[in-house]
Structure 1
């Protein structure tokens, strides 16, 4: 816990460094805390489970969701199975998040089912790096699996500076056919519309009870500016805390900045952990979630 609140970091990257494009390593060093790569990864570029666990424990993180990514054009080929030793080291703190790319996985339902059966808490799709639209019919079998199993979908909703990125594919309007076809599927907008789509992301979250704003990659002190056209007190009840670690100076610092925005305490508790514990599949039920997100939104 951090300052007496449950803290879930819903957006964490811990790939094998050798699987990555050089730009990813430059990003981690440019935007992350100095020395964190050397602290957590060994000389062969593999994350050290004990070091990772100690780092997140020191930051007050109760649960961290670990991402992979099959985007060889932009960031690299980061395998889901590389996450499993990290999860096994502390399955209470760490949970894996699935990833698929319709250009690489077929039948796509089989691969998402395999990853869910290995404990994935959600499916993350990265259209900008993967080169596909979220309304691509090839993805609908994966959405059907998620809806059937009650597992949320996380989508990259914001610009990316990595070479090879196709930022036009981040438009949240591409989600409308998905929301219509799968009305019970929770959809988390990673990066909250960063760049051109803050208003569109906020509108979706406020108009659909299944859509959420995830804060990774957004400086928390600027949230009132990014969402100035909306009722921040209401929108913040749809927030899911995440950092995009290791490309962040500090998890605890970001969380404390969210807590210092002047929001009601129950809203802060939802944003920092309560919403994530409700949304993501299989998180530790013994962690106190407080007020459920659907109340008073």
Structure 2
């Protein structure tokens, strides 16, 4: 039997990219769009993201089986209104096995957050919630200061087993409140909602990786999404990544500045000095444990 070389993955993992942005780009504020246009040809990007079939063809070419389609509400900073939820749901309707919709209620402007949450889950089939503290200007633990809509979000997601992805780390976009990317307030969320599944998007990069690692090890239902971390830097950011591989998921953050394609990130991840078992967990099985194959 041919031996697998160190760092190789036996067979071929079915890669899930847990962090892809297919969004209604026309909502972007001009300054935000200009940041994207420094890195991308938007005509090319629009052609891929305007058609679910074209996007699935793109995933096939990138060697990606499934993708979580990340959308969130941020009218003041990014320009995204609550209309992103309908957009995301309809886009993912094309193939619910391969496309996993993430959305978010407009907590700051919603009069009945519980009904809004139920509409997202029961009406639109949203499978994950994304909150972005720097882009929404709301701490992930604002409920402890009396922001009841956020508590309702956590209650509903906990009761239904719906994971909440929380942006951790800084943001380069105009108007973003990067101090709110500090992951340590999430410790309170974990204590108060112990059954809630939480995904730490971006691992706190580039300032708070140690804090994220602490949360991963302390709380059973906390997971790591390595999107926007350059794969070559992963082991430097998380030197003990093997210890939490069963709680770690590959994500690309495509299409963001510095991430023109997904395949390159996958290939660079496979080239790291990680065990085959850890690579498979990161690329495939951790995501399957949260979002089983339909």
Into which bin does the TM-score normalised by the smaller protein fall? 0.7 to 0.9
Residue in 2 that maps onto 1:167: 178
Q: What secondary structure sits across from 2:234 in the alignment? A: helix
Q: CA deviation at 1:113?
A: 1.8
Other-structure match for 2:168: 157
Distance apart, 1:101 and its partner CA: 3.5
Question: Which string of whole-angstrom CA distances, capped at 9 and with x for unpartnered residues, describes residues 181-221 of structure 1?
Answer: 11111111001101211110111112212111111111011
- Structure 1 pair 197/220, CA: closer, same or farther in 2 (3 Å)? same
Q: Is the partner of 1:195 in helix, strand or coil?
A: coil
CA distance in 2, matches of 1:102, 1:263: 40
Matches within 5 A, 1:127-206: 127-137=133-143, 138=148, 139-206=150-217
TM score, norm. by length of structure 1? 0.86
State the secondary structure of the residue aligned to 1:184. coil
Q: Which residue of 2 aligns with 1:294?
A: none
Cα deviation, residue 227, structure 1: 2.1
- How many residues are matched? 275
**Residue 238 in 1 paired to residue 247 in 2?**
yes
How far 1:40 sits from its partner (Å)?
4.2
User: What whole-Å deviation, never above 9, does each CA across 1:128-153 have from its counterpart, x for those lacking one?
Assistant: 10011111222111111111111111
With normalisation by structure 2, the TM-score equals 0.87
1:81 equivalent among 86, 93, 101? 86
When the two chains are superposed, the root-mean-square deviation of aligned CA atoms in Å is: 2.0
Judge conservation of contact 1:243–1:254 (CA < 8 Å) in 2: yes
1:91 pairs, out of 87, 96, 104, with: 96
Deviation at 1:84, TM superposition (A): 2.5
- Find the aligned partners of 1:214 and 1:111 in 2 and give their Cα distance: 26
Give the Cα–Cα distance (whole angstroms) in 2 for the partners of residues 123 and 172 of structure 1. 17
Deviation at 1:68, TM superposition (A): 1.6
Measure, in 2, the Cα distance between the counterparts of 1:163 and 1:170.
15
1:102-141 per-residue CA deviation (whole Å, 9 max, x = no partner) reads 2122322221221122222211111110011111222111
Tell me which of 21, 33, 37 is aligned to 1:25.
Answer: 33
The question of whether the paired residues in 1 share the 8 Å contact of 2:88 and 2:103 is answered with: no
Shift in Å, 1:155: 0.1
2:11, 2:59 → 1: CA distance? 15
Contact 1:133 1:174 in 2 (8 A): yes
SS at match of 1:158: coil
